[in-house]
Structure 1
């Protein structure tokens, strides 16, 4: 008799797949990341941060990695139409801060309008399961309309640092990519050369080969209104990028006496009187006793001695004491012109309508473009650095593929 020792498989019931772990809904306390971290273990842990992004985008030397945009509220209320806001975009963690420059006799106190925080995009459930979608710095550009905590803001300008930073990083900010913008406009030029040239002659009858920014904007609108194609979307930031790229370089006149008076007024309010220590530090760094040093070294010494002036004002004041042969700054002349104890500026040098806020009055004082009125503070961050655009070079690059840079 043969006995089979083959093992018999045990009966097994159909084992279903384990259920997927689902996040509980948001409980309304703290941020979504904090609430979700409390559900993953008995010991709550703070949400992890993007350390790599922090190391790349944190403040490094003169690079603040903070973009500033001018904005206004989209509203039907007449008292809110002239209010100007400054949106700070922090690249290190995609947080935002909104500041309202105070304007006298406007009826609004001004100051901080929204604390620095992440801002959720609208249309998301309050008690959601998944993490919300936040605004990033890419979503804020000139011409964009953003919804920050049920307030609609239209971005109408940016400062020079924001424009320059976005143009230097076109992969992150597509609206500042000149070749990409030109590739969108180039197909609209085919077969319309005569029409566009006649339109340019109407805008520039004297043949100056350059035009104001407003006329250049009309040229772009004329290009994208081609009935043969669907309307191409060109936002205001892209037009500003093209205008800056093809801008006619015109030297700007600066009211240096008003800037010195404004700086002395800020130093008097601080109060800062330690000019001798500042001068001794400069002499100590000047080993060769030349009486001059670079702007970077002079700025470092000013910061080490807690000199209470912003960088834009410092560099503008250095131009007054600069040696144009080698680009170095005569530090004794630089310090003496700011000594409000020994060398005060004459009365009336500082504009009488100065509000005490550099964010509001810096552009007006530097360029000397007159007094400031209610609602005109938006000009602080709307200067493109392109008062006139050289349209001939723009048209040449537009008709010849691969030549724009």
Structure 2
């Protein structure tokens, strides 16, 4: 009611009244969105949707007031408003660069074409730097065409960079997703845009032509098949006369290829050719009777017959410049039949006679085409790492699951029980090691060596096993092919180096000398001579009435020293059976000479389990031996008495 009464009054102080019935006091919206971007705008209505009585400012005036800076001077110069910000999607909306290009695609399974040229159009959208590749649709092409690469940002390299319009030009190769596109030209808008940006364009190129498409544009020709050759006369003259050639097809250059044998028949009656495959027993192939059926084979076609539809029509004489004849086949020459090359290496007797009478060619000689065995590849073993035996390490290279190395069975049977024993002393600068002696046992069957130290009372050393069974390599030998110590290296005074320890050979069993003499051809003479001289130095003893020994003072001292050393070693042993052993010796010594033959002496020692294999006891036996092959058992028994 109030608003109707005051309507029409001038808008002066005191003449304005507020509407008490008004309930909406919202303000109008001054922010908006356009194409995804926010922008400001002037209000169109007042508070609550009422009419605005003040003069509305334009957007340019609002921007000017926002950018105005107050100064203390009069008549401030009017500032030029900054240019409006225009987004890329607005500035480059519907602006697209267009390039004509092509790429080459291989055609592996076709006799008509080896490759084809596919034309494409590359679009570059400036608003978001995206690209797309379209292939124009060609009628009856048989290829799905249209959108080749959908619109997207295309990667340029592996670092994550993308193609930019600065990278595009005419006459360049553009790799995209494994395919190389050749850019040949662009439209006028693209040329003007790139030149305006300071890019120098390459000259345009001609679009490559597709060879198969150009072949189909050639006009069809009329095929006429006249025949003026008298085939009946040829049939009567050469009926049942066939040339037979033996050939091979070598396909080893291809994957899983092999060499296969074939028989080529040439029928003189009608100049036809037949190819039969030779099958072997259990070759795993289906026995097809014929590879190429009997037919006339073209050798050279006319130039314009490459597109001849052979699948529905037969080739006539007008389409062939030259057919296969008998002169095209010869032993030792290759012949290509329907794309496959056969090498003729032999023929039958009738074929040889025909070529000699018809063409004057001498008799063909057979060519050996048998498979040669492949060259033997020498297996090289990796370097030896020094752990274990070389034979055991080499088994890891021969099989996936290592096996036990093969041993020489004959040697194991003949030399299994053959053991060569030596006595050696340790060469060491340590005073405590002087006087230590060791027993070196060489096992002839396995070429291994063991070292045993006899325990000596109050010596400060435990004695016992010093080195288990192993092969000992000579110092300075190659690691991959080491040279091991053998019986020929163990001579009196020899220096044997065992894993950094040095031993000097001082004595050996008499069996060693006998063994080396029986196999003198296998061992150096110097080793045998060294052992002989060593045993000859041990002078034999002579008997007296009381069974004693007549020796000089030096030998007597050596004998007494040896007996005392043996008694010291056998204190804790169970060999104190001197009375029983003496009775056994005296029973055999009927003449009471104090000497027994070697066989009787060792038989008694064996019955009483005396350690005759010991190095010291063996040396005592040699000192008690005489030149007649007998042994004085009185001095021998002194070593076993306390």
**Which bracket does the TM-score occupy, shorter chain normalised?**
0.3 to 0.5
Bigger Rg over Cα: 2
Bigger share in helix: 1
Bigger share in strand: 2
TM-score normalized by the length of structure 2: 0.31
TM-score normalized by the length of structure 1: 0.46
Q: Identify the structure with bigger relative contact order (alpha carbons < 8 Å, sequence gap 6+).
A: 1
